[in-house]
């Protein structure tokens, strides 16, 4: 049977599905593998199911020279050198669509948690410092009736716009390609420039892909445009925000608060974040509902199966030019 490798722990049903079609080598212990262990695992593999924590670069691809497909268990793929994969004739796939609802829900949750100081309040209670209820204790900002600015208006951005209709929010968005008027009307969303969105939004939510063009898309200049009462939420990718500039803005009160699920250099993050009360920090769990993560793992496995077992183009291929080559 053809050999495929699963580099990180997935669900039992995913392994069972793959084992019916392939000789599967998997890292179900979810250990950080040494270079030697990784090399032994990848030898002779014709397909690899990766996680967003795997860096698929020249070195990785050298360890699996027979690989025909890298199936990433994530919608984002900035962990993969796609041009290098394409040069070697290796297909790359991702898992779009299955996590839209979960990430949208999580983004709204971070909006509420950051604006209503939930993280700060939870720590206050746990530390035994709560003695009474005061009229001006931990005053936050309302979500209802506020203006939401979405930087990025793809599938997840549109679902967020649907969610906040119940909060009677005004929705602004900025993206490279303006949405059709019918979509704008349905979601009651208005296209504006990036600068206008930053200046006028009470909540700025980042939901755009990471690339060279979006590196530090939000930095000192952009944070300086935002209102002092505004909240920044990032459920996209680390590196889109200049974390040093954000820490300074939060510390100096240039913006009210932030909710962050992603960071530059994660899982490590700047120590200063832990000293700030006006930021909610979560460990990249925007898609981490059981249902969604199972669907992501199975979607990646099905991409492998379609390409290698059925011999057909996988449905979520990111570099289709490989097929013609």
Backbone angles phi, psi at 231, to 5 degrees: -125, 130
- The DSSP H or E segment spanning 38 is helix 35-42
Concerning whether 266 is annotated as a catalytic residue, the answer is yes
Q: Is 54 exposed, middle or buried (0-12, 13-18, 19+ CB in 10 A)?
A: buried
Quote the longest CA-to-CA distance of the chain.
70
> Given CA atoms 159, 162, 168, 171 in this order, what sign does their dihedral have?
positive
Name the residue among 42, 34, 59, 44 with its Cα closest to residue 7: 42
The residue written with tokens 């039992």 in the block is 12
Q: How is residue 211 written in tokens? A: 């690339």
Q: Which residue among the candidates 9, 184, 220, 266 is catalytic per the annotation?
A: 266
Q: Is the CB of residue 292 less than 8 Å from the CB of residue 99?
A: yes
The DSSP string of 138-177 is: T-----TTPEEEEE--SHHHHHHHHHGGGGT-EEEEE-SS
Q: How is residue 264 written in tokens? A: 């530059």
Backbone angles phi, psi at 23, to 5 degrees: -85, 110
- Partnered with residue 14 across adjacent β-strands are none
- Partnered with residue 258 across adjacent β-strands are 232, 279
Q: Is the CB of residue 150 less than 8 Å from the CB of residue 157?
A: yes
Q: Which residue among the candidates 116, 174, 237, 293 is catalytic per the annotation?
A: 237
Question: Catalytic site residues?
Answer: 237, 266, 284
């Amino acid at each position: 049977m053809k050999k495929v490798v699963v580099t990180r722990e997935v669900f039992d049903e995913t392994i069972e599905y793959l084992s019916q079609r392939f000789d599967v080598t998997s890292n179900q212990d979810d250990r950080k593998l040494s270079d030697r262990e990784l090399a032994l695992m990848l030898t002779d593999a014709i397909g690899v199911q990766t996680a967003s924590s795997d860096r698929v670069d020249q070195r990785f691809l050298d360890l699996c020279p027979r690989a025909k497909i890298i199936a990433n268990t994530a919608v984002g793929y900035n962990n993969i050198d796609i041009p290098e994969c394409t040069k070697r004739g290796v297909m790359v796939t991702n898992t779009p669509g299955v996590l839209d609802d979960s990430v949208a829900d999580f983004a709204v949750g971070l909006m509420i948690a950051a604006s209503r100081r939930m993280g700060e309040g939870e720590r206050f209670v746990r530390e035994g410092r709560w003695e009474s209820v005061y009229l001006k204790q931990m005053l936050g900002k309302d979500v209802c009736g506020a203006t939401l600015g979405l930087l990025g208006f793809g599938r997840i951005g549109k679902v967020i716009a649907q969610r906040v209709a119940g909060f009677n929010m005004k929705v602004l968005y900025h993206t490279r390609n303006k949405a059709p008027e019918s979509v704008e009307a349905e979601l009651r969303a208005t296209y504006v420039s990036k600068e206008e969105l930053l200046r006028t939004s009470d909540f700025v939510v980042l939901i755009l892909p990471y690339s060279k063009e979006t590196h530090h898309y939000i930095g000192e200049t952009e944070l300086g445009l935002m209102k002092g009462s505004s909240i920044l939420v990032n459920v996209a990718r680390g590196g889109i925000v200049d974390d040093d500039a954000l820490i300074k803005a939060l510390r100096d009160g240039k913006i009210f608060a932030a909710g962050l699920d992603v960071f530059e250099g994660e899982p490590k993050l700047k120590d200063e974040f832990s000293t700030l009360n006006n930021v909610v920090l979560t460990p990249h769990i925007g898609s981490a509902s059981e249902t969604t993560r199972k669907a992501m793992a199975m979607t990646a496995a099905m991409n492998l199966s379609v390409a290698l077992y059925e011999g057909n183009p996988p449905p979520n291929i990111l570099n289709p030019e490989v097929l013609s080559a």
